[in-house]
Amino acid sequence: MSSPPSHRNGSLRLLLLGLALLAAIPAARAADPIYTTWYNNLAIKGYDAVAYFTEDAAVKGDKKWRTDWRGAEWRFSSRENLEAFQAAPEKYAPQHGGYCAWAVANDKLAGIDPAQFSVVDNKLYLNYNRDIQNKWLLERDKLIEAADKNWPALLDR
């Protein structure tokens, strides 16, 4: 026994709508220009981008000193650091959108551990974990060159 024509048309419309939504997923899956985790929109997992330069340390930011830049929330440990970032965000923001620099050099995207960092030629690079940081340090200059070459086309994959 077959369904009435109107029921079949409704089912066909739902199927076509579902297929259209599935087709849109790859475009929506392009990576964000600034690395944030799945559960919040914090750049550098809430750490102070300026402190890497001024204190040579990973310092947790405070939500009372925050700004939005490039689609992410940035937090700072002091009003002075917030103001420094607002005056020159490109100077303090991590390279390659704050993704793991070693991964970007290897044509991949990966998250970071804010404590695993390097400031090289006044640029901040972050890495996934201590083991990756150690690999990064062994070939840092070569990896920076590779990462710069791979970025930002890597975002579109």
> Does an H or E element contain 138, and which?
helix 130-138
The predicted pLDDT at position 49 comes to 98
Vertex 122: Cα angle to 93 and 97 (nearest 5): 25
What SS3 state is found at 155?
Answer: helix
Residue 119 pLDDT: 98
Q: Residues 6 or more apart from 124 whose CB is under 8 A from it?
A: 49, 52, 53, 92, 93, 94, 95, 117, 118
Nearest to 35 by CA among 146, 127, 113, 111: 111
Per-residue pLDDT of the chain (157 residues; tens, 9 = 90+): 555 555 555 665 655 555 454 444 443 446 899 999 999 999 999 999 999 999 999 999 999 999 999 999 999 999 999 999 999 999 999 999 999 999 999 999 999 999 999 999 999 999 999 999 999 999 999 999 999 999 999 998 8
> Could you tell me if 67 and 50 are in contact, meaning their C-beta atoms sit under 8 angstroms apart?
no
Helix (H) or strand (E) holding 86: helix 79-87
Please report the pLDDT score of residue 27 as a whole number. Answer: 39
In sequence order, what are the residues at sequence separation of 6 or more whose Cβ sits closer than 8 angstroms to the Cβ of residue 44? 61, 74, 94, 98, 112, 114, 126
- Where along the chain do its domains lie? 43-156
Please tell me the predicted confidence (pLDDT) of residue 4.
53
pLDDT given at position 157: 82
H or E segment to which residue 54 belongs: helix 51-54
What's the confidence (pLDDT) of residue 105? 98
What sign has the CA pseudo-torsion 59, 120, 104, 31?
positive
* CB neighbour class for 93 (10 Å; exposed up to 12, middle 13-18, buried from 19): buried
What's the distance, Cα to Cα, between the start and end of the chain in Å? 47
